[in-house]
Amino acid sequence: MPKSFLPVSGLVLPRFAGVATFMRLPHMMLDSDDVSDVHVGLVGVPWDGGTTNRPGARHGPRQLRDLSTMIRRINPASGIDPFLRCNCADLGDVGVNPADVKDTMTRVTDFYDRLVSLGIVPMTAGGDHLLSLPVLRALAKGGPLGMIHFDSHTDLQAGHFGGFRYTHGTPFRRAVEEGLLDPTAVVQIGVRGTMYDGEDIDFAKANGIRVIRIEELMDRGVAAVMTEARAIVGSKRIYVSFDIDAIDPSQAPGTGTPEIGGFTTFDAQRMVRLLENLEIVGADLVEVSPPLDPSGNTAWVGVSIMFELLCAMVPAVERRHSA
Amino acid sequence: MPKSFLPVSGLVLPRFAGVATFMRLPHMMLDSDDVSDVHVGLVGVPWDGGTTNRPGARHGPRQLRDLSTMIRRINPASGIDPFLRCNCADLGDVGVNPADVKDTMTRVTDFYDRLVSLGIVPMTAGGDHLLSLPVLRALAKGGPLGMIHFDSHTDLQAGHFGGFRYTHGTPFRRAVEEGLLDPTAVVQIGVRGTMYDGEDIDFAKANGIRVIRIEELMDRGVAAVMTEARAIVGSKRIYVSFDIDAIDPSQAPGTGTPEIGGFTTFDAQRMVRLLENLEIVGADLVEVSPPLDPSGNTAWVGVSIMFELLCAMVPAVERRHSA
Amino acid sequence: MPKSFLPVSGLVLPRFAGVATFMRLPHMMLDSDDVSDVHVGLVGVPWDGGTTNRPGARHGPRQLRDLSTMIRRINPASGIDPFLRCNCADLGDVGVNPADVKDTMTRVTDFYDRLVSLGIVPMTAGGDHLLSLPVLRALAKGGPLGMIHFDSHTDLQAGHFGGFRYTHGTPFRRAVEEGLLDPTAVVQIGVRGTMYDGEDIDFAKANGIRVIRIEELMDRGVAAVMTEARAIVGSKRIYVSFDIDAIDPSQAPGTGTPEIGGFTTFDAQRMVRLLENLEIVGADLVEVSPPLDPSGNTAWVGVSIMFELLCAMVPAVERRHSA
Amino acid sequence: MPKSFLPVSGLVLPRFAGVATFMRLPHMMLDSDDVSDVHVGLVGVPWDGGTTNRPGARHGPRQLRDLSTMIRRINPASGIDPFLRCNCADLGDVGVNPADVKDTMTRVTDFYDRLVSLGIVPMTAGGDHLLSLPVLRALAKGGPLGMIHFDSHTDLQAGHFGGFRYTHGTPFRRAVEEGLLDPTAVVQIGVRGTMYDGEDIDFAKANGIRVIRIEELMDRGVAAVMTEARAIVGSKRIYVSFDIDAIDPSQAPGTGTPEIGGFTTFDAQRMVRLLENLEIVGADLVEVSPPLDPSGNTAWVGVSIMFELLCAMVPAVERRHSA
Amino acid sequence: MPKSFLPVSGLVLPRFAGVATFMRLPHMMLDSDDVSDVHVGLVGVPWDGGTTNRPGARHGPRQLRDLSTMIRRINPASGIDPFLRCNCADLGDVGVNPADVKDTMTRVTDFYDRLVSLGIVPMTAGGDHLLSLPVLRALAKGGPLGMIHFDSHTDLQAGHFGGFRYTHGTPFRRAVEEGLLDPTAVVQIGVRGTMYDGEDIDFAKANGIRVIRIEELMDRGVAAVMTEARAIVGSKRIYVSFDIDAIDPSQAPGTGTPEIGGFTTFDAQRMVRLLENLEIVGADLVEVSPPLDPSGNTAWVGVSIMFELLCAMVPAVERRHSA
Amino acid sequence: MPKSFLPVSGLVLPRFAGVATFMRLPHMMLDSDDVSDVHVGLVGVPWDGGTTNRPGARHGPRQLRDLSTMIRRINPASGIDPFLRCNCADLGDVGVNPADVKDTMTRVTDFYDRLVSLGIVPMTAGGDHLLSLPVLRALAKGGPLGMIHFDSHTDLQAGHFGGFRYTHGTPFRRAVEEGLLDPTAVVQIGVRGTMYDGEDIDFAKANGIRVIRIEELMDRGVAAVMTEARAIVGSKRIYVSFDIDAIDPSQAPGTGTPEIGGFTTFDAQRMVRLLENLEIVGADLVEVSPPLDPSGNTAWVGVSIMFELLCAMVPAVERRHSA
């Protein structure tokens, strides 16, 4: 009965009313009976245990849910009505331990293992970027994935603070090392900001990761860059990771490690729309830090991108369920 | 099975995690089957249609739910564990029409009529103070109620803007006129601020409403004042209405019509605790306006007072259900 | 004596000094004798009674006046000195009733009827977008107007909340239905954001309204789009309505219904400058909501656009007065 | 025709509407004809040229006017309706030069000389505390004044930065030296905060200024302290100077040099009310710094105290005009 | 040469100028030669790894240094000039690892071991409250300490999130278990807020810790309570720990776990002053969270209390150095 | 020993830890012995004495230092590691007198005279734009300099407030008049905003200053404009002055006199990078006003541009020291 998966309309109940779930979708716990009907699960990982600089992303899912009640039904550019084409639900937050990184990584992977076994495609709201690692540990059980990664940083650092290996600057270094990502099918878009020593870029080059710096994106334009990105990942199963700090900090100030000179939300929308029809097996939107933007403007950008990601995922999800 | 009415503990799931319901209680729609087990219903009325000055109280319920996830289980002063002694639930928000005052009043009264018919005692989160009027229209169907009213204003104005009768400055004038309140059993505590013309005070005097101005409260102390208030309402069925602007604006800045020189949150806690065992048939906490305090500090005061109100209501609720 | 209509210079009195009127112009009440010399009247409509989502635009005129004291004399791009070429004055605010939509609409139309009878061209500062409807009811008494409309929304909705017809999402639907606008001479620029069901777009198409979505604007550029817009309205008498949410929310965050991916203030300036010499009979700048941007940055954008609108109106006003 | 000096009522025009003048009083320029009917002039001095630490008080008058539109007619404690008993008007701001301290002092004194010659009692809104010096230079032309001074600082420093003599820490040292104040009729209430070297306190002692530190105020209570203060000034002509930082910074955070551990707004109200009937020849409320509190909460405290000061001044003003 | 340990005066260099060190004291690294002359070391622990709720205290030391430049020389109540009587210096921050709790605890203890060996008494700026545990591990090497502890929480929890033992809710439970504190010489003042299950209070009772709840403090007054506290610790070597959330959140909103109904800053000042002459071997001021109060008002309260703590420590430090 | 001039790495000590100096460089006083090894001195001028509108820039250096701790080592676009190629140090702030413009100008020039005599190239953090004048008085002792000036204003005004000649709107008028700048080698980029009377533009034209308005920059692009700018200054010794208000206020809101419609931070980065190898003898970044952006986002833009300026200066500095 897909009707029950439709969000409450703002023409009926004002957007500011009601308990806030992601995009006003029904809220289900993973152990409820209905969960087997879900195609796409919107999940929060309220965690910033990997943050080396300014914390606060643990509050991301709450604020993202709040602002997401301003999302309506239809994508105006593509005409896609994602909630009609797939059963989407808010599956709540993973139960994290804010004071213990390794314990939380296990909890995240356990949660996503269950999603995989239920055939649910996850759309994750962070949380800091370290969460992508335990998510990939669950999603890549069937083999290494490709990835399209929007970010101002590579997140390919070796470690911090005397060799500590699990921070929000290291998830994809670890993911490559653990065989969760196929580096030759990884594209990073929007990279910029001052560098420590460039060792992360060396790692990218040595492993075949394609890094598209902001200057290249600005010079070539989003269409050309996305054509290349699509060519690199081809028909592989891919993960899409969108760090809100990829967007210029004037448009998304609520994040812990901003870098000036980023691309616009309009560019972001166009790029994510160009992901349509790729074989996306999961996506995340990370690093929204509400204490750094109590206005909610950054979270509004975040959920607007989540909606675009959702629309981009729909065709592949639909294909699988109609197959 | 009362266990299902217990909130999720912050020792298990961090307070910032999970979909935000009032005090982390289960969320139920009025048409769900379980609702018949509910003793106390926490309801939001996200509405500021009666606001003559600075709007924003329509966003109150959302922010109050957010902050309420920091409430724990037990009242440290009285030892009361309200969630164990009564079945409490979040019953969502009333569906309001922000652009039509009279339509919304009807919708509110309809919602509370259903609560009354289900035997659920309402603990309302506003919204502006006009909401008390349609709530009283439902609760006072069995006869006029007494009221203990904490506020910096009397809310007994005749009207605004050329005779408009339904604003957040008039609800109790209307309620007395409509026979919903017994004015001789009404006590108003904390009144202050510059006056238009004093006509509201004249109305109070003429009808036997007891107005305790802030100077009297400060001089006599909270214990003496509450002893008098309890004597006035006696064993009558009463409503408790708490306007957040009763508290000093330094402690509750997020409200539309602040008046300096108020009482403290500590005084508020002591006064509400002294309501214990009165025959409370409903309560509200109104006028928290999140746009005027994005930090959530005012909402935190609001939900802390809601918790105290809940604890004060428990004995009477329990009596009725064990009777 | 036109000299008395010149604003106080910031080289003489610091910008932060003095009672704040629009652009430091003289303040006149509609019933004063001098008002007959006024050519352009700057008027506030401090009202958000039609707001379906986040309120606050009622505070717009106050904050716009405050920030407008930073406007100097001369448009640097066109060299126009509007205050020298027309007599401009601050005519104060319309007396609204924040709790009654229909009463306020009558009050607004009455006020603008008087402006029309005095031959004063209004430059309105909102307030929410519903105000354009009662303004048009006064201005279109001589026949339907054309309109150039900058907005992220069409404001052509049928209604909200069970058929309520007067909200800030419906003014131009009503204006077309009431014959105040000639839909074939209406151009909407900058439309974007998720859609409820697209019924507003259907209405636009069915009635010949030209909707230029943001993607088209970005692809074709502002010059091409404005050339088309000018061709559509030709020499008709037109109204110009500028919703601040047309601009990207990073540049104008203080508004109730933001949509990411908008155009820049620089684009806005260029587009408004390209309105020069059109037969403008009135203009408004709406939806600045100060509680959502206490910094005043959004209001600064708003008054900067008001100044451009004023410069665009000057030639036609001057023509009429010199005719 | 005193009626024209009555403020616009918030029961008629909403408080947020209209051009903001002090307490919604008529705005008059010093050179207008009507000004000779004015008894009490509310004047802004938008200046922080004497500020040694955090600037922003130059923006005080604008924000104080904005918030002052929330003041109603009648003092609820005393029943005084000041606008009915005296002709009050907003006389605008003194034209200051923000970059030149001495030039501005001359401009301020010139402005107040004119007030004195017109028989207008000034109620000044600052601006930083240095403004009291040029004001006193005008008001004390008839001989040294007494003063009741609420502040967390003595403002009796010798100088700053290598002997610079005119800062907001020195006005009353200069005023005593220049014979504008009779130090034996000066009382300072609320003094606290860490000290540089205590030389200001030595000066106070040597000259007979009575300094009542916050500990003494808290121990003895406001009534006892005010009885003493009244006895010290007796029937002398006095100036009342209220620095907003006298109040605890939690209640008035928007000020440049806060000191924790202050008295409350309720205490402030009670103390100012106890000034009633003293021979007040002028008063000021200074050091509200809007950039340090964009919410306006501090300005709201400020104008609420200005209203109390106005009520305290009314009897003496009335006496003089009825004499 | 004690002169070099005097802070730069605000009468010479404006308070906002210069590199910000604690109270404008000289900055020294632990390995510099001069450090052997230091009597009291002000140290930052920029860490919130133990925070179970809202993070941000890692930014505390930076903001506390910034605001501390507004501290002058002399305590106005006691006349103590601490910088003249002891050599005080800013010893910088401990190098923490924000993502690893146990590693950081080791680093903190190592740093304080060095202070102990140098005979430097530490005045610590947090950081979340967990930091007191590794500090006590260094300071209590000579035997269990007494403690006077100002807080709204006991911080005596057994653990969080399935038995995790090191959070900011557990430091003193661990310290008692590890023999670092003598529980019979521990007093906790200001405790309040809703309770999980009261198990922490049971632990306090079972071990002889004296918990003075806020109601008792309000009823008995600060003098009586401090007399008792002094009697309990007697002449023992004690640690003083001041959690900023002990103070009412209206006065100190920038903290992660606020509880309404607290004591005032004035009460705090009076209580800390009553610690004078006790045998204090270290003190901390913790839980200032700048992202939750970007205004710095909370940090200003924090450093003002640090100054009082410093003055309270001076006599004992002086005794030891003159002995 | 250049190693001691390297900043502390964020991979070792978290960015939020430690006393904040510019870019985590060593802090040296001008009278220390080591200062003779410094090649580039980062200096703060915490002063807004010339500000005619909104103050606050005096707090700029403090906040810029705070945010600058997020700068890493290497410029990602050019690969330049400035700290390795030159000895850079934080030389503290000039001791200003906030209440006396002329005194402060003397103090600034004295400080920079010492830098010149030490052969240190200054990179200044403001402070308002008037500071460029006393800096140029020191730097241009060897003859008039060229200048590349990024700003939304020309800062070529004749005077303010009745002929006052020293404000932040006049420094380069004065510098040309005093022979400190060669006007034919001055380029101003990004000029926009409403004009008083255009007299500053007349002065520019009459003296051969090249003003590139924003429309020209947008139309021609940054590369073409910078090619022209480089041609104009050729191999002359030049000063680079970057007013943060040159950047669009959505990206740099924390400034006193914003003008909408500016260029982006990305454009700014590209333009400053195109200054590489010019004969730069000093640079400043001015008009960051922290009270107008407590979030620090504007300061983050500011220090990011300072880093680009530093990289642009390095080749010339290196040439001189290797010569």
If phi > 0 it is left, if psi is from -120 to 50 it is alpha, else beta; for residue F270 that is alpha
* Beta-sheet strand order (sheet of A279-286): A88-93, A40-44, A121-125, A279-286, A237-243, A145-150, A181-191, A210-213
Q: Give the SS3 label for residue C118.
A: helix
Please give the residue of chain A at the shortest CA–CA distance from C195: A74
Residues of F in contact with C297 (CB under 8 A): 249-250, 253, 258
Taking only the tens place, the pLDDT of each residue in C128-184 is 999 999 999 999 999 999 999 999 999 999 999 988 999 999 999 999 999 999 999
Asked if A298 and A70 count as a contact pair (C-beta separation under 8 A), the reply is no
Residue of B nearest to C254 (CA): B291
- Chain A closest-CA separation from residue E256 CA (Å): 11
Kindly list the strands in the beta sheet with B210-213, ordered across the sheet, starting from the edge strand earlier in the chain: B88-93, B40-44, B121-125, B279-286, B237-243, B145-150, B181-191, B210-213
- pLDDT value at position C3? 47
Contact B162 D251 (CB under 8 A): no
C-beta atoms of F258 and C297 within 8 A: yes
Mean model confidence pLDDT for chain D: 96
> What is the pLDDT at residue C33?
84
Supply the pLDDT for residue C322: 82
Say if CB B195 and CB D72 are below 8 A apart.
Answer: yes
Find the distance separating the first CA and the last CA of chain D, reported in whole Å: 19
H or E element in which residue A241 lies: strand A237-243
**A208 alpha-carbon distance from chain centroid:** 22
Name the neighbours of F, counting chains with at least 3 Cβ pairs within 8 A: A, C, D, E
Q: Do D167 and F99 touch (CB under 8 A)?
A: yes
DSSP code for D292: G
Give me the residue from B15, B74, B264 closest to E197, CB to CB: B74
- Per-residue model confidence as pLDDT tens digits over A50-64: 999 999 999 999 999
Measured between beta carbons, the chain D residues lying within 8 angstroms of C66 are 62, 66
Q: Which of A54, A161, A260 sits opposite F301 (nearest CB)?
A: A260
- Quote the percentage of chain D above a pLDDT of 90: 96
> What Å distances lie between residue C123 and C232, C282, D97, CA to CA?
22, 6, 33
Q: Do B161 and C97 touch (CB under 8 A)?
A: yes
Tokens linked to C186: 């209406």
D14-24: pLDDT as tens digits: 999 999 999 99
Neighbours of chain D (3+ CB pairs under 8 A): B, C, E, F
- Nearest of D250, D300, D267, D247 to residue B215 by alpha carbon: D267
Position D53 confidence tier, pLDDT thresholds 50, 70, 90 = very high
Q: Look at D161 and E297 and tell me if their CB atoms are within 8 Å.
A: no
Burial of residue E201 (CB within 10 Å: 0-12, 13-18, 19+) is middle
Task: Please judge whether A14 and B92 are an interchain contact, meaning their C-beta atoms are less than 8 angstroms apart.
Answer: no
Q: E244: helix, coil or strand?
A: helix
Q: Answer whether residue C1 shows pLDDT above 70.
A: no
Q: Is the dihedral of CA C100, B192, D149, D41 positive or negative?
A: positive
> What pLDDT does residue D321 have?
86
Q: Which of residues 56-115 of D touch C (CB under 8 A)?
A: 58-59, 61-62, 65-66, 90, 92-98
Partners of residue B103 in chain C, C-beta under 8 Å: 161, 164
Q: Give CA–CA dist E84/D195, Å, rounded.
A: 14
Phi and psi at A50, nearest 5°, equal -100, 10
CA distances from B139 to B94, B142, F53 (A): 16, 7, 57
- Contact status, residue A313 vs residue A123, Cβ threshold 8 Å: yes
Contact D46 C16 (CB under 8 A): yes
E186 sits in which H/E element: strand E181-191
Instruction: With beta carbons under 8 A apart, name residues in chain E contacting F58.
Output: 14, 16
Cis omega (within 30 of 0) for bond into E95:
no
d(CA D227, CA D232): 9
H or E element that contains D315:
helix D297-322
Q: How far is A42 from chain E (nearest CA, A)?
A: 23
Q: Which residues of A are less than 8 Å from F10 in CB distance?
A: 52-53, 196
What pLDDT, on a 0 to 100 scale, did the predictor assign at position E77? 96
* Least reliable range by pLDDT among B258-262, D117-121, E9-13: E9-13
Rounded to the nearest integer, the mean pLDDT of chain E is 96
Selected residue of F157, F165, F194 to mutate for chain C interface (largest C Cβ count, 10 A)? F194
> Does F162 touch chain D if contact means CB atoms closer than 8 Å?
yes
Q: Do F90 and E44 touch (CB under 8 A)?
A: no
> Tens-digit pLDDT profile for chain F (323 aa)?
444 799 999 999 999 999 999 999 999 999 888 899 999 999 999 999 999 999 999 999 999 999 999 999 999 999 999 999 999 999 999 999 999 999 999 999 999 999 999 999 999 999 999 999 999 999 999 999 999 999 999 999 999 998 899 999 999 999 999 999 999 999 999 999 999 999 999 999 999 999 999 999 999 999 999 999 999 999 999 999 999 999 999 999 999 999 999 999 999 999 999 999 999 999 999 999 999 999 999 999 999 999 999 999 999 999 988 87
Out of A58, A294, A295, name the one closest to residue B16 (CB). A58
List the single residue in A with minimal CA-CA distance to F301: A260
Chain F residues within 8 A of A196 when measuring between CB atoms: 9-11, 72-74
Identity of residue C300? W
Residue E163 above 90 pLDDT? no
* Per-residue pLDDT at A294 exceeds 70: yes
Residue B1 confidence (pLDDT) above 90: no
Chains with 3+ CB–CB pairs under 8 A to C are A, B, D, F
The contacts of residue A210 (CB under 8 Å, 6+ apart) are A186, A187, A188, A204, A228, A229, A232
Residues 253-312 of E with CB under 8 A from B: 253, 257-262, 292-293
Residue A225 near residue A217 (C-beta atoms within 8 A): yes
**Chain A residue with minimal CA distance to B9?**
A95
Task: Give me the count of residues in chain D.
Answer: 323
Q: E33 falls in which pLDDT band (50, 70, 90)?
A: confident
Looking up tokens 């520019």, which residue turns up? F204
Nearest CB neighbour to D27, from listed C19, C97, C294: C19
Strands C210-213 and C181-191: parallel
Strands, E, within D137-260: which ranges?
145-150, 181-191, 210-213, 237-243
For the stretch B107-145, pLDDT in tens is: 999 999 999 999 999 999 999 999 999 999 999 999 999
Query: Nearest residue of C to residue A74 by CA position?
Result: C195
Note the ipTM here. Answer: 0.96
- Of the candidates E222, E212, E216, E176, the one whose C-alpha atom is nearest the C-alpha of residue E191 is E212
The predicted structure's pLDDT at residue A22: 98
- Residues in B closer than 8 angstroms to D76, CB to CB, are 191-195, 213
Taking contacts as CB-CB distances below 8 angstroms, the residues of chain E near D218 are: 266
Average pLDDT for residues C205-213, to the nearest whole number? 98
Q: Which of E235, E285, E317 is nearest to E63 (CA)?
A: E285
pLDDT of residue E1: 42
Confidence of residue A33 (pLDDT cuts 50, 70, 90): confident
E55 interaction partners in chain A (CB closer than 8 Å): 48, 55-56, 58, 98, 291
Q: What pLDDT was estimated at residue D33?
A: 85
Per CB-CB distance under 8 Å, the chain A contacts of E54 are 59, 291
Chain B residues whose CB is inside 8 A of the A21 CB are 19
Q: Are C282 and C139 in contact (CB under 8 A)?
A: yes
Contact predicate C302/C244, CB 8 Å: yes
- Tell me whether residues A55 and E50 touch, CB distance under 8 A: no
Taking a C-beta distance cutoff of 8 angstroms, is the pair C95, C14 a contact? no
Task: Tell me how many residue pairs between chain A and chain B have CB atoms under 8 A apart.
Answer: 71
Residue F321's pLDDT is 86
Are residues F16 and E95, on separate chains, in Cβ contact within 8 Å?
A: no
pLDDT above 70 (res C2): no
D52 contact residues in E (CB cutoff 8 A): 10, 14-15
Which residue of C lies nearest to A308 if distances are taken between CA atoms? C194
Selection from B173, B180, B185, B188 nearest residue B146 by Cα: B185
Per the prediction, chain A carries an average pLDDT of 96
Q: Please, is B199 exposed, middle or buried when counting C-beta atoms within 10 Å of its C-beta (0-12, 13-18, 19+)? A: middle
* Cβ-nearest to D99 among F49, F59, F103: F49
Interchain pair E52, A103: CB under 8 A:
no
pLDDT digits (tens, 9 = 90+) for A107-130: 999 999 999 999 999 999 999 999
B203-256 tens-digit pLDDT: 999 999 999 999 999 999 999 999 999 999 999 999 999 999 999 999 999 999
Hey, of D152, D192, D260, which one would you mutate to test binding to chain E, going by the most E CBs within 10 A of its CB? D260
Q: Number of CB pairs < 8 Å for C and D?
A: 71
Helices (H), F140-264: 171-177, 199-207, 214-220, 222-233
pLDDT digits 0-9 by tens, B246-295: 999 999 999 999 999 999 999 999 999 999 999 999 999 999 999 999 99
Q: Which residues of D touch E73 (CB under 8 A)?
A: 194-197
Confidence at residue F78, expressed as pLDDT on a 0 to 100 scale: 95
Contacts of E51 in chain A (CB under 8 A): 98-99
Give kind and range of the element (H or E) at residue C231: helix C222-233
Q: Helices (H), strands (E): how many in chain B?
A: 10, 8
CATH of span E34-322: 3.40.800.10
Contact check, Cβ <8 Å, F269/A292: no
Alpha carbons E77 and C306: distance in angstroms, whole number: 56
pTM higher than the cut 0.95: yes
